[in-house]
């Protein structure tokens, strides 16, 4: 399978190379359409420490990520993004994920979308309470380094005028993969910029469940601070409060507090249904372009701690990224869980997980 993916990659790269001269030959002023494409290839290997004897200690994944978009007359849009994954762990398997595949129409102040699309209504970095259509957050990897999240299948209408925006979405779970626990969702969001606050009200319902409602806000204070928060009632209240501070040196500090209720929608894997309401903290410090000196500008470094305050377990995470030119990068992602054997993070069957990867972008 890895050979097949490699051959597919070479074919795709060759096709893109053949297409690029035709694209460059057309003058932008004469073109009524815009074509964009991208290709990503990732080889990611994760090594687990102190696993039980019957567990394989290495997980290897090779990903091929092509994407394509077409815009005609600034009105019609077609977009698609796929992910091909070959996994070697207990055995070798492969699958193709559709990250996005949608068509869009713009007419005056209205935008209409139909298909699978990534939507982000939540404001949190590591957690979300009000992101009813958002992809799941993984606090130990909030940037989703492998880009494995899929959008929701929906029909969506947006109206924007001045500082006001109104969105209506109906999402179906009919095409969702087994095990995602999604439901048909109807949701509306009103967003307004007032007195420096980017605020939104969200309401809707899941098929077969009670209605939900909540609000989000983001506020930039001065040149360095950003405050954000989410509050949602979905059977029970959930809350996210966070802040980001950017130092003059370029170091970014992020902190978030999250308290979800003990319900299936919010409950994290590894948490007992009898554990009750949980309380989490996320702390992150990072810097892109480590130093403005030759040999250092290509480095990005960050460190995070995700802690469950109720069972006193945590996971420490270190991310290091190194660019080689504009198209190739390598990275290290290290996760170390700490806590009791029955705690959320301490129950992990490994003492540490070290991921090494190489990316190619076109």
Q: Are strands 92-107 and 164-172 parallel, antiparallel or unpaired?
A: unpaired
Q: Which burial class, exposed, middle or buried, applies to 345 when counting CB atoms under 10 A from its CB (0-12, 13-18, 19+)? A: buried
Q: What is the pLDDT of residue 31?
A: 56
Compute the distance between CA of residue 360 and CA of residue 82 in angstroms, rounded to an integer. 16
What is the pLDDT of the chain when averaged over all its residues? 89
Cα distances from 202 to residues 131, 133, 234, in angstroms, run 9, 11, 11
Confidence of residue 294 (pLDDT cuts 50, 70, 90): confident
Cβ count near 233 (within 10 Å): 16
Q: What is the pLDDT of residue 15?
A: 37
Question: pLDDT (tens digit, 9 = 90+) per residue, 111-167?
Answer: 999 999 999 999 999 999 999 999 888 999 998 889 889 999 999 999 999 999 999
Question: pLDDT (tens digit, 9 = 90+) per residue, 317-360?
Answer: 999 999 999 999 999 999 999 999 999 999 999 999 999 999 99
Helix (H, G, I), strand (E, B) or coil at 247: coil
Question: Residues of the chain with pLDDT > 70: what percent?
Answer: 91
Q: What structural domains does the chain harbor?
A: 2-6+34-361 (2.40.160.100)
Question: Strand locations in the chain, DSSP E?
Answer: 33-49, 58-72, 76-88, 92-107, 110-117, 152-161, 164-172, 185-194, 197-206, 211-221, 225-234, 236-246, 252-259, 280-287, 299-308, 313-324, 328-338, 352-361
Q: What is the pLDDT of residue 177?
A: 77
Letter string b/e over residues 52-91, b meaning 16 or more CB atoms within 10 A of that residue's CB:
eeeeeeebbbbbbbbbebebeeeeebebbbebbbbbbeee
Nearest to 304 by CA among 324, 282, 280: 282
Among 102-111, 137-146, 213-222, 233-242, the range scoring the smallest mean pLDDT is 137-146
Give the residues across from 286 on adjacent strands.
Answer: 252, 302
Helix (H, G, I), strand (E, B) or coil at 7: helix
User: What's the pTM value of the predicted model, to 2 decimals?
Assistant: 0.85
Cα distances from 346 to residues 22, 56, 314, 318, 336, in angstroms, run 55, 20, 7, 18, 9
Question: Residues of the chain with pLDDT > 90: what percent?
Answer: 72
Q: Residues for the chain: how many in total?
A: 362
Confidence of residue 30 (pLDDT cuts 50, 70, 90): low
Question: pLDDT (tens digit, 9 = 90+) per residue, 68-126?
Answer: 999 999 899 999 999 999 999 989 999 999 999 999 999 999 999 999 999 999 999 99
**Tokens, residue 54:** 């019957």
Nearest to 340 by CA among 311, 360, 316, 318: 311
Query: Which own/partner contact pairs does 332-337 have at CB distance under 8 Å and 24+ positions apart?
Result: 332/356, 333/141, 333/145, 333/357, 335/140, 337/313
Q: Which burial class, exposed, middle or buried, applies to 296 when counting CB atoms under 10 A from its CB (0-12, 13-18, 19+)? A: exposed
Compute the distance between CA of residue 109 and CA of residue 361 in angstroms, rounded to an integer. 35
């Amino acid at each position: 399978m890895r050979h097949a993916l490699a051959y597919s990659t070479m074919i795709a790269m060759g096709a893109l190379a053949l297409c690029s001269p035709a694209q460059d030959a057309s003058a932008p002023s004469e073109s009524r359409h815009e074509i964009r494409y991208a290709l990503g290839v990732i080889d990611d290997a994760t090594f687990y420490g102190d696993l039980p004897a019957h567990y394989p200690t290495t997980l290897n994944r090779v990903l091929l990520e092509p994407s394509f978009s077409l815009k005609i007359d600034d009105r019609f849009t077609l977009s698609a993004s796929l992910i091909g994954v070959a996994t070697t762990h207990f055995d070798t398997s492969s699958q193709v994920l559709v990250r996005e595949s949608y068509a869009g129409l713009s007419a005056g102040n209205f935008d209409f979308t139909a298909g699978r699309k990534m939507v982000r209504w939540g404001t949190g970095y590591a957690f979300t309470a009000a992101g009813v259509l958002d992809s799941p957050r993984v606090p130990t990897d909030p940037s989703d380094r492998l880009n494995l999240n899929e959008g929701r299948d929906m029909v969506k209408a947006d109206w924007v005028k001045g500082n006001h925006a109104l969105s209506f979405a109906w999402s179906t779970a009919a095409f969702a993969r087994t095990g995602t626990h999604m439901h048909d969702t109807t949701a509306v969001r009103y967003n307004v910029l007032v007195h420096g606050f980017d605020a939104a009200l969200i309401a809707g319902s899941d098929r077969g469940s009670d209605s939900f409602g909540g609000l989000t806000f983001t506020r930039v204070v001065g040149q360095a601070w950003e405050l954000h928060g989410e509050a949602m009632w979905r059977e029970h209240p959930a809350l996210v409060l966070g802040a980001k501070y950017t130092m003059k040196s370029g170091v970014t500090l992020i902190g978030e507090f999250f308290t979800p209720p003990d319900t299936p929608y919010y409950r994290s894997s590894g948490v007992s249904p009898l554990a009750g309401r949980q309380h989490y903290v996320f702390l992150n410090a990072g810097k892109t372009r480590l130093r403005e000196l030759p040999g250092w500008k290509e480095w990005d470094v960050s460190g995070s701690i995700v802690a469950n305050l109720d069972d006193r377990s945590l996971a420490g995470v270190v991310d290091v990224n190194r660019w080689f030119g504009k198209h190739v990068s390598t990275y290290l992602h290290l996760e170390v869980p700490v806590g009791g054997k029955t705690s959320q993070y301490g129950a992990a069957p490994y003492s540490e997980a070290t991921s090494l990867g190489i990316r190619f972008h076109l």
